[in-house]
Amino acid sequence: MNLIIDVGNTYVKLAVFKADRLKKKDVIKLENLIVYIDSLKKEYKSITKVIIASVGKLKNKDISYIAKHYKSLILLNSDTKLPFKNLYSTPKTLGIDRIALVSASVNQFPKKNVLIIDAGTCITYDFITDSNDYLGGAISPGIRMRYKSLSNLTANLPLLETEIPNSIIGNSTNDSIHSGVVNGILKEIDGVIKEYEEKYSDLTVILTGGDANFLSKQLKSSIFANSNFLLEGLNYILQFNSN
């Protein structure tokens, strides 16, 4: 069995896979990681392989502790063997989250032109061809970042919670903010998809990330929504390096 550890700045997402099947998923605070690992060892004694993807600050002593208790450990970075050809001009700057998402697409949609949209803190777009060539994509501000920037970078605009706008025409300041942020993102995503489809008619589109469910119900484009896509990608990278 495989243990997937995705480390952020404050929280850690963990998943246990048996081959390709997700058996358990949790989100915990970073400070509780080792205590959680100890409890997990008792629950799943057959875990032998671990992959760690860390964009946060995982201490070396924690990594050493994990390595001590499992036979195989991969620390995902730009030098890790990947199941696709990385044609990004600055491969060492490519985020490990984007690497994991592209890897998931290779596993689940082989020999397809795939656009992966990750709607989280930022919205990332990643494209891989049916020849298994990763070309790159785009990065833009996510929903909460847009709400916060309007409040933080202006004198009088309030910070609002995310809300589906009633209309494209906002007839109050709050409604105008909701319309600008949410409709702006929806138009952006639909526009990006349309531009890719004009070049690649057989395009497969994946939407994932924390805001995927909120956005998927409102998008015009045909997409696959999968909230576990990143974890599945990390699991595939681990399997790929174990063969």
- Amino acid sitting at position 93: T
Q: What are phi and psi of 2, to 5 degrees?
A: -115, 140
Q: Which of 62, 97, 126, 211 is catalytic?
A: 97
Binding-site annotation, residues for ATP: 6-13, 121
| Tokens representing residue 79 in the block | 């030098």
Q: How many CB atoms lie within 10 A of CB 220?
A: 11
Sequence-separated (6 or more) residues with CB below 8 Å from residue 91: 78
Q: Is the pLDDT of residue 9 over 90?
A: no
Provide the residue ranges of all domains of the chain, joining segments of one domain with +: 2-75, 85-234
What's the pLDDT score for residue 17? Answer: 97
**Is it true that domain 85-234 has CATH number 3.30.420.40?**
yes
Is pTM beyond 0.85? Reply is yes
Percent of the chain with pLDDT strictly greater than 90: 85
What's the pLDDT score for residue 99? Answer: 97
Let me know if 97 is a catalytic residue: yes
Two domains, one topology: 2-75 and 85-234: yes
Binding-site annotation, residues: 6-13, 88, 95-98, 118, 121, 173
**For 113-172, what is each residue's pLDDT tens digit?**
999 999 999 999 999 999 999 999 999 999 999 999 999 999 999 999 999 998 999 999
User: What are the beta bridge partners of residue 124?
Assistant: 118, 139
| Tokens representing residue 162 in the block | 């995310």
Domain 2-75 carries which CATH code?
Answer: 3.30.420.40
